Chain A
């Protein structure tokens, strides 16, 4: 009762990866990832560091010149993987905008923040300097930077991390993109600012009507903003489901481990153990089976021989790359 992944998700798409693989100097980091983000949809991508979640998106936008990338990346109907540089330049910042982890490092230290927003407006929307400045001020107001007119003239080092992240969000909104890719946008911020930035992201996304790909290692972050989620492990998508389904009934043992880690307060000592498991996971890839097999408590004999593909029951959009998980889904659907 296994169904091809592409049949499980429907609707209009803002962005679609098909068989996306990325490798650096022969070492594969992302394997055969299929992923769709609908128009105006907020989708979370979670996994531990090194699971390939950021690399997949950076490679998709051609931001990793030293990587070997194969597969397909489409924006609506346009194939953008290996597109010429001039075409990518009209897509980046215009149709796909990115927000990065470290807001202060992501801004040019010797340019006023207003100028950096104005640059996007002039490049992509062809605005005059005057119109662009007015629009930049409006964007600063929209992302709730207080005293916007004066802050436009500030340099990044004069603003806090949270304010700088608001600037990068304004910069992302400036090109009026179809989709914003936010790569760990709150990881470098302290807890209260994190919540504010997440709520702001959710709000501006709704107002602008654009899609959001929120990359995070933190389930709570994704749950706050997104409705659907992809779980990545060792460069593969191992589970995808509505956030509510994933929380109530995770089917992949790795998703369960992630849930357990985020809900337990003593996550710190466990973290070391998880890292050791990540090394073991690479052995798992080497033997050709499921990458999670070495650290899985419920492994089956076939897990070591062949990596389970993403599968689902015919009526559900919940997919899981686990032999046990799929049979659970199927028997549940039969009830």
Chain B
């Protein structure tokens, strides 16, 4: 295991949040045989009456969740990010289109998932769910922020897709900073005026490392955790356009359609500034340790540093 021994995995935060909702009898949890992995098993152990096992059948799970939601319940359904895609059309037609409030969690997203190999490494989930009207798309960076954002979903008025990650990363939040998180609002970890690094998921940690190194070289970077890819925090982007004038996006996801695309779509329509995108370059992953894969696919802090220098040159 190449993940750090400390820190937290965002999937653990999802499980912890479900446990905090045990006293709410309107919360129901749905599983498709991967509760031990997505961490919904923690809820099941405490409240089996409100946990529904659907077996290895993701398409069915999506619509069972929708049926429960229209009957007054708040379903949290989870599977691997990649297998949620098997039910994409069910999410599209059965959840997003009628705007039924189901909260779908896809764990083990991204190449950071590691040794299982490319069949398990969803690098397109953020892109596809982002295309659906009514859907919020969220990708927290660590367990503490994942817990907070999951708790906020209980009262969120539209369906959502949250991607969590399998492996631990150093925490970027404490309990007190997590309290300042809000779905739809990016969180600014560092402020600088030379470049803005906008990251999500496990790459937030790489972005923070990159900003430290850049600072020693006299380059001052803003670092934003854009944990909500949709709805995108456009007012924060307006400020970044004004104050930084250059952006690097960083995500454990294809550069096609994810956070980088979402930021670029807004920026070019508003006030174009140079953007560099760190992400998976239109290829599939392979088996390997998390850090090995981040390195192989150019998703490390060193890659972010190089991109920051390139984008500053383009200002």
Are A and B bound to each other?
no
Q: Chain B interface (Cβ within 8 Å of chain A)? A: none
